[in-house]
């Protein structure tokens, strides 16, 4: 669908939509919703934080003094983490459109992709965790990143939003550490010893550090890590701003092997050496790197990479991102090994065809009525409504609740962390299936079954432009599921028109009449590809500096690039053989965790208990 609401006959026409700005046709307003959205409710923002369950307090496996290398099965915890067996879901039915995306790789070593998790050399417990998460077949980014991380090289991975990046690094990293917890991890007391006061809290000494830009994404990664850490004897924790730091200090004081953190809170804890040290660190992941590596975060990242007491040569670095701006390239040059590997899935900054994009022309003064018409016309389901500022988020939330009588909530950066977590919890649970939000929710957030994304405001050019648009609509249609993204276009959005038209053509969407003039001259809308913008690479290279920091790597388009998922390298190595790039896949041989040596002391020694406790 292009400039209208749809072709089913039950959806109303929007004012001005049929023929662009010149039409004066009166809209037809539905009198009531087409389906049951549920009961609208009013949030009580006066409640206290007593007994509040913060996002970082989710249940994880706690060491109870077991002697083996693997934790025993815990049916109660397993049901909490994965849900009941008949309620576990994986990729959607249209995963084939993701599998057909072109993959390219660069670097001195070839990555032999794996085509099924059973061929990835995973420990049986890790393989079962993957299966209980509902993952049947690896996505393109997982096919290449799992063996690449197993090979022990530093890695840059660029992939579309909704492509499974979190699992692409958590699975191989935690798999490498399987059976090594007592050898590499720091001492930790049992929960009972902490409760009785027999033992004091310990200093957190993580083996794995994941850094991400937003609080909501940190909590989301933590919830994924809880699943993959099940039975590994590794304890995940998360720290982020806005929530009580005393509560997070208590969490990491119970032992922390995998730490997920936002930059500000991480730097705060690093300054308190009796609470956190990175001396045992073996893996560092920067997730959504392009969002963080601008001028606002330079000081924090300088402290994280250089201010810790970890040895950079013993750390395997990974950068995961949807785009690849200059700041990410600089970080790669400064901290990644010169022989690092690079994987690109699809065009940088692109989206995929599983998301049906509808661009609708609306006059600014009619947008609220158009929004209510749309919500009344579509089938009820989790829907995210994006606006460009905090005031608009509050106003549209009130409008939907008071005028439309629909259950909704809202979120933006001025809300307290408690309010933000309440809003996200209500949205995930379906209690408030309508979430009004700013760009704070545009990146990384993965909520199951988001059916619709609505850009009430299209992002402006000075606040993300087409990249922000791509991230926003990527909240639906994730990992093979389908979704719809409807965007209200006004004359104020003209600076975005050209890029928006190209995105529509690239993903085989219909270009509405009012955007036809922005179709590039001579372009075929049915077979259009956007070329990657390599101007910054070329500018740096022209200045005599290799933008990758390596002289012998092959650029995209060389012999080691353009590898499609169907064929892989396809020259005599079966999927099973291709996965054998890191020894036996159990972390023996030349895995990153083992080459760096034991961290000393295991679980019973070498970790001083802080006297402050």
Domains and CATH numbers, the chain: 20-31+354-527 (3.40.50.300), 103-348+556-582 (3.40.50.300)
Which residue shows structure tokens 């990410």? 328
* Threshold 0.75, pTM exceeds: no
How many angstroms separate the CA atoms of 587 and 608, rounded? 28
- With a CB cutoff of 8 Å and minimum separation 6, the contacts of 442 are 386, 464, 468, 471, 472, 475
- With a CB cutoff of 8 Å and minimum separation 6, the contacts of 583 are 121, 589, 590, 591
pLDDT of 394 reads 93
Q: How many residues does the chain have?
A: 613
Please tell me the number of Cα atoms within 13 Å of 353 on its side-chain side: 16
How many angstroms separate the CA atoms of 557 and 581, rounded? 24
pLDDT of 143 reads 93
Looking at residue 580, what DSSP letter applies?
Answer: G
Which residue shows structure tokens 């190209």? 502
pLDDT of 608 reads 36
Q: DSSP alpha helices (H): ranges in 360-477?
A: 367-377, 390-399, 417-429, 465-473
Ramachandran quadrant class, 570 (left: phi over 0; alpha: psi -120 to 50; beta: rest): left
Helix (H, G, I), strand (E, B) or coil at 512: coil
Helix (H, G, I), strand (E, B) or coil at 373: helix
Q: What's the per-residue H, E or C state across 280-307?
A: CCCEEEEECHHHHCCHHHHHHHHHHHHC
How many angstroms separate the CA atoms of 144 and 104, rounded? 10
Strand partners, 454: 385, 486
The CA angle 587-590-592, to the nearest 5 degrees, is 70
Please tell me the number of Cα atoms within 13 Å of 538 on its side-chain side: 4
For strands 103-106 and 341-345, give the pairing. Answer: antiparallel
Would you report the helix, strand and coil content of the chain in percent, each value rounded to 5?
Answer: 35, 10, 50
Q: How many CB atoms lie within 10 A of CB 66?
A: 12
Phi/psi for 370 (5° steps) reads: -65, -40
Token couple for 582: 């890191």
Which residue shows structure tokens 């006059």? 363
Token couple for 10: 């039950």
pLDDT of 612 reads 29
Cβ pair 164, 184 in contact under 8 A? no
Cβ pair 377, 5 in contact under 8 A? yes
How many angstroms separate the CA atoms of 408 and 420, rounded? 13
Which residue, among 171, 150, 147, 168, has the nearest Cα to 158 in the 3D structure? Answer: 168
Token couple for 539: 């500018």
Mean pLDDT per 10-residue section of the chain, whose length is 613 residues: 35 41 57 81 57 76 84 92 70 47 84 93 95 89 94 89 85 94 89 91 96 89 94 95 90 95 93 92 90 70 77 88 79 86 74 81 95 93 93 94 92 85 86 89 72 94 84 77 91 95 89 93 76 48 40 34 35 35 35 36 38 30
Cβ pair 212, 266 in contact under 8 A? no
């Amino acid at each position: 669908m292009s400039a209208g609401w749809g072709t089913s006959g039950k959806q109303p026409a929007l004012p001005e939509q049929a023929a662009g700005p010149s039409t004066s046709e009166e809209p037809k307003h539905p009198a009531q919703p087409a389906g049951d959205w549920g009961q609208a409710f009013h949030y009580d923002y006066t409640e206290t934080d007593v007994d509040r369950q913060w996002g970082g307090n989710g249940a994880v496996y706690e060491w109870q003094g077991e002697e083996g290398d693997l934790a025993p099965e815990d049916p109660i915890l397993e049901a909490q983490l994965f849900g009941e067996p008949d309620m576990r879901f994986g990729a959607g039915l249209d995963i084939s459109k993701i599998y057909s995306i072109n993959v390219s790789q660069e670097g001195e070593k070839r990555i032999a992709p794996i085509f099924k998790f059973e061929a990835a050399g995973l420990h049986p417990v890790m393989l079962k965790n993957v299966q209980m998460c509902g993952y049947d077949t690896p996505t393109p980014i997982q096919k290449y990143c799992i063996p690449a991380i197993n090979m022990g090289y530093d890695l840059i991975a660029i992939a579309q939003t909704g492509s499974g990046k979190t699992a692409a690094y958590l699975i191989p990293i935690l798999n490498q550490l399987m059976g090594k917890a007592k050898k590499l991890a720091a001492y930790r007391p049992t929960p009972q010893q902490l409760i009785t006061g027999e033992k004091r809290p310990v200093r957190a000494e993580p083996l794995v550090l994941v850094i991400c830009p937003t609080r909501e994404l940190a909590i989301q990664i933590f919830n994924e890590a809880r699943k993959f850490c099940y039975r590994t004897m590794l304890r995940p924790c998360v720290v982020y701003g806005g929530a009580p730091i005393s509560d997070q200090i208590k969490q990491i004081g119970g032992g922390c092997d995998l730490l997920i953190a936002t930059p500000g809170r991480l730097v705060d804890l690093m300054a308190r050496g009796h609470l956190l040290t990175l001396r045992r660190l073996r893996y560092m992941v920067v997730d959504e790197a392009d969002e963080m590596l601008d001028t606002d975060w330079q000081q924090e990242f300088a402290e994280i990479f250089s201010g810790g007491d970890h040895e950079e040569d013993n750390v395997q670095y990974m950068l995961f991102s949807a785009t690849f701006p200059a700041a990410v390239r600089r970080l790669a040059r400064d901290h990644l090994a010169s022989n690092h590997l690079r994987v690109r899935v699809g065009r940088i900054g692109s989206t995929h065809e599983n998301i049906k994009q509808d661009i609708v022309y609306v006059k600014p003064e009619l947008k609220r009525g158009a929004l209510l018409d749309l919500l009344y016309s579509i089938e009820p389901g989790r829907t995210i409504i994006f606006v460009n500022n905090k005031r608009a988020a509050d106003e549209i939330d009130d409008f939907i609740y008071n005028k439309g009588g629909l259950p909704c909530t809202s979120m933006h950066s001025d809300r307290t962390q408690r309010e933000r977590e309440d809003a996200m919890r209500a949205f995930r649970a379906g209690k408030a299936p309508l979430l009004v939000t700013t760009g704070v929710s545009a990146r990384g957030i993965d909520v199951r079954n988001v059916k619709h994304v609505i850009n009430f405001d299209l992002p402006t050019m000075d606040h993300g432009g087409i990249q922000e648009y791509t991230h926003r609509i990527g909240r639906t249609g994730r990992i093979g599921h389908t979704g719809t993204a409807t965007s209200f276009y006004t004359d104020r959005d003209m600076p975005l028109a050209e890029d928006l038209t190209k995105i529509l053509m690239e993903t085989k969407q219909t270009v509405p009449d009012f955007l036809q003039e922005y179709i590039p001259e001579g372009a075929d809308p049915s077979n259009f590809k956007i070329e990657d913008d390599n101007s910054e690479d070329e500018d740096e290279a022209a200045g005599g500096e290799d933008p990758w920091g390596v002289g012998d790597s092959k650029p995209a388009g060389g012999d080691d690039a353009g590898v499609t998922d169907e064929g892989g390298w396809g020259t005599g190595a079966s999927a099973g053989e291709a996965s054998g790039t890191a020894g036996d896949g159990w972390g023996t041989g030349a895995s990153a965790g083992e080459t760096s040596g034991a961290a000393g002391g295991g679980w019973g020694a070498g970790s001083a208990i802080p006297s402050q406790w």
